[in-house]
Amino acid sequence: MKRKLLASSILAASLFGGHAFAADDTIKVGVLHSLSGTMAISETTLKDTMLMLIDEQNKKGGLLGKKLEPVVVDPASNWPLFAEKARELVQKDKVSAIFGCWTSVSRKSVLPVVEELNSVLFYPVQYEGEESSKNVFYTGAAPNQQAIPAVDYLMDQGVQRWALLGTDYVYPRTTNKILEAYLKAKGVKAADIMVNYTPFGHSDWQSIVADVKKFGSAGKKTAVVSTINGDANVPFYKELGNQGVSAQDIPVVAFSVGEEELSGIDTKPLVGHLAAWNYFESVDTPANKDFIEKWHKFTGKKERVTNDPMEATYIGFNMWVKAVEKAGTTDPAKVQDALIGVSVPNLTGGYAAMMPNHHITKPVLIGEIQDDGQFEVVSETKGTVVGDEWSDFLPGSKDLISDWRKPLSCGNFNVKTGKCGG
């Protein structure tokens, strides 16, 4: 019996990089990303990123002496299905945390589930703000960490007319509501703002691009601010090229287009168009080089690119690991408290800190599309920016703050009335 136990422990150590794990238990981690449907173009990579991060952590010895076990589900770009899959992950699979969602409508579908079951969701994509939950940790950008700095950059370039093009759901609509208020506060007239929404998966961009060209022919420098999501970006950018819309004429700044989305199209006609993110693959730091090298090794494909939501996933996962070690447990309630104040390296040469509002500190980068599908950074904040969960430019939000530390523990505390809204 002793020899059998010894043989089993040696086998376990050899299977998991020299580390022996508790044989009777694992820590399950939920991975909730669309692997099919309109959002698969963006979300499949984040599933692969999580598998790489979990594999690396297991090679380091796992967590609390246990092996991490990914539980991957496919909500298939079906927003109500996100809620069902999240419930299964927590109640059936007993995951300790969920890493997932891309669109805000999928996050809002999952939100009541993780709140009801007191689980933890790490959300790795830029979003519209106007939300704060004790169960959600937002590692993507809030509007003040992406959308507003992008508009400021374009204003500095002389842009006076604004075409706000978005996919028809909560993130583009709320972001554009904030941007409209911000632009008007900066003196932009309503007649110089064009807004258009299209469904997920929209493919016929001919008339919309023609409308943008007409809107931009009024003698004022015009730009497109794009909150178009998913695979609709491919025909949108192709149509820009077809109609000869160059960055010199009408620059496009995108909030949901990165290296992954550009890898499927000819980028030569798009050179000079912009994206606002907090990370680009082209960032030259030792940490980023190491991350890219590990990514290529894990996937076995050197052509696989990296992007901003991957970095946000990397930051969120490392924060969770650090918080679990700090708390000495995977219990969600204790991990929620332990996460506040946790700081981990980002890939751009600095650190990301989890703030009391469950948002993180991030640098803001503006990048120009290059003919190889990469981005050249043309603007960068001097330091990191704290994510603002409630917009300073919307009447119902400007007096609200979020602080999940005890004793306040409130996601929408009104500083004027001194009351928590819930």
- Cα–Cα distance list, 82 to 28, 74, 77, 106, 121 (Å): 18, 8, 8, 6, 12
Whether omega before 286 lies within 30 degrees of 0, making that bond cis, reads no
Distance from chain centroid for Cα 216: 31
Per-residue pLDDT tens digits for 74-88: 999 999 999 999 999
Find out whether 139 and 202 touch, Cβ atoms under 8 Å. no
Burial class from Cβ neighbours inside 10 Å (0-12, 13-18, 19+) for residue 145 reads buried
Find out whether 355 and 137 touch, Cβ atoms under 8 Å. no
Query: In whole angstroms, what is the distance from residue 282 CA to residue 279 CA?
Result: 9
Residue 43 in domain: yes
Residue 403 in domain: no
Classify strands 222-227 and 252-254 as parallel, antiparallel or unpaired: parallel
Q: Which of 361, 377, 401 is the last residue of a domain?
A: 361
Residue 382 in domain: yes
Residues 97 and 117 in one domain: yes
Look up tokens 């120009």; give the residue: 368
Look up tokens 């706000």; give the residue: 164
Per-residue pLDDT tens digits for 239-291: 998 999 999 999 999 998 899 888 877 888 889 999 999 999 999 999 999 99
Burial class from Cβ neighbours inside 10 Å (0-12, 13-18, 19+) for residue 248 reads exposed
Residues 108 and 30 in one domain: yes
Total domains in the chain come to 2
Residues 327 and 344 in one domain: yes
pLDDT at 23: 52
Residues 75 and 101 in one domain: yes
Structural domain range at position 164: 144-283+367-386
pLDDT at 4: 43
Residues 252 and 332 in one domain: no
The DSSP annotation for 348-394 comes to SSSEEEB-TTSBBEE--EEEEE-TTS-EEEEEE-SS-EE--SS-TTS
Q: Which two tokens stand for residue 186?
A: 């900066």
Residue 324 in domain: yes
Residues 272 and 290 in one domain: no
Residues 216 and 265 in one domain: yes
Residue 187 in domain: yes
Q: Which amino acid is at 315?
A: I
* Residues 6 or more apart whose Cβ sits within 8 Å of residue 394: 130, 177, 178, 181
- In CATH, what number is assigned to the domain containing residue 292? 3.40.50.2300
Residue 294 in domain: yes
Residues 278 and 155 in one domain: yes
Q: In the chain, which stretches have pLDDT less than 70?
A: 1-24
Residues 221 and 298 in one domain: no
Residue 399 in domain: no
Residues 382 and 249 in one domain: yes
Residues 333 and 203 in one domain: no
Query: In whole angstroms, what is the distance from residue 266 CA to residue 314 CA?
Result: 29
Helix (H) or strand (E) holding 411: strand 410-414
pLDDT at 266: 83
Residues 349 and 292 in one domain: yes
Query: In whole angstroms, what is the distance from residue 166 CA to residue 47 CA?
Result: 25
pLDDT at 325: 98
Query: In whole angstroms, what is the distance from residue 93 CA to residue 262 CA?
Result: 35
Q: Which of 361, 377, 409 is the last residue of a domain?
A: 361
Residue 13 in domain: no
What residues are paired with 277 via a beta bridge? 365
Phi, psi angle pair for 30, to nearest 5°: -80, 135
